[in-house]
Amino acid sequence: MPDLSTNCAGIKSPNPFWLASAPPANSGEQIMRAFDAGWGGAVWKTLGQPIQNVSSRFGAVDYRGSKAIGFNNIELITDRPLEVNFKEIYEVKKRYPDHAVVVSLMVETRQEWQDIIKRSIDAGADGLELNFGCPHGMCERGMGSAVGQEPTVNERITSWAVEYSTVPVLVKLTPNVGDIVPHGLAAKAGGAHGVSLINTIKSIIGVDLDTFVPRPVVGGLSTNGGYCGAAVKPIALHMVGALAREPSFGLPISGIGGVSDWRDAVEFLLLGSSSVQVCTAVMLYGYRIVEDLIEGLNGYMRDKGFARLDQLIGRAVPQFSEWGDLNLNYETVAKINADKCIGCQLCVTACHDGAHQCIHPKADTRVPVVDESECVGCNLCQIVCPVTGCIEMVPVDNGFSPASWNQHVGEGATLRPKKGVH
């Protein structure tokens, strides 16, 4: 069997799958049940000055019969006494010495950081995660994303934590910024041992069309919350990859955002994560989803010939490039498999109304025909086709040498003729 054990910024766990800091990691009893189910680690729900949460606090986006593809919350940090949390951290670590117990923290002053860090480490924390990402409630008080959006503040508070900590410090970054790289570099400048990302995205999940109140509703009012769930995975993958490929960064990454199955987790690992945190999928389906994560990762590593996790971490990073480095002379065209086509004509409509008008119905057959002289290889037809493998994008040998915008166009390289220009 492949070795799934990992070391993320000095925090070791038997596999890379951690509970993210959220309701599934709110108590010792929950985390012990999660470890029994197979989770390798957990990031404790954020500790700070306990607050009073609101009711209700969750909302979701359903789409075409799929429940909660996107999830929203306006919940804040722990509402349980710190003494209770620290007692439970101690009990969990004593019972599960080989599992990773990371404690998420969020306070205001330097003295508060010093105090809560000491208490967390005394309780047995293997690592700390500084919550610089919460986009609601706490940021209005000068914490959460109010810190994560300001590199100088990020660096300063990170340096406090690193000064006071004897265990690894991860900085949890907010996605509510234009470019994640300066914020990752600020964490590095502050001495962080690694980062975790992404936290939730500032959002309004929807509006009740009868009462005119945004959701979730709290006594006739609402507010923006944090968006997460399967729908945010593309944003999370981009930000993880952007830091992983930054030459001046070089810190370990704990990837978070929209992980629902083992394939999602592997994508985060390939883009540079050495641990993968999960929240929303656990809230919707329970701790046992870790069985799929472990089984799927094991099978994938066997199929690819990977004996250890570090052999696959970051393998996709070299292929994550800038648009200007892409080969402008690379060309594909759509090919329709007549044996698989069901004649739904979705590709015809999509191509005519949303693409380049190169797929046409044919009177004597259910199978549309592709005018390859006009096909630009956009692959919209493949996306809308309901039959797996029916439409394939096939590379064309057009005789033109590779040419990119950054390296060749300015030097007078020959570009293949544009299609669809009349």
Q: Which residues are catalytic?
A: 134
List the structure tokens of 373. 């002289």
* Of residues 144, 203, 151, 204, the one with CA closest to residue 174: 144
List the structure tokens of 182. 């300066």
Cα first-last separation, the chain:
58
| Segment (H or E) for 119 | helix 110-123
Beta-carbon neighbour count of residue 263 at 10 Å? 13
Distance of CA 4 to CAs 309, 312, 341, Å? 6, 11, 41
* Of residues 137, 162, 170, 134, the one with CA closest to residue 149: 134
Read out DSSP for 226-251? Answer: EEESGGGHHHHHHHHHHHHT-TTT--
Beta strands in 173-214 (DSSP E): 194-197, 201-203
297-300's contacts with Cβ under 8 Å and 24+ in sequence apart are 297/2, 297/4, 297/15, 297/16, 297/262, 297/265, 297/266, 298/1, 298/2, 298/4, 300/262, 300/266
Residue 13: strand pairing partners:
6
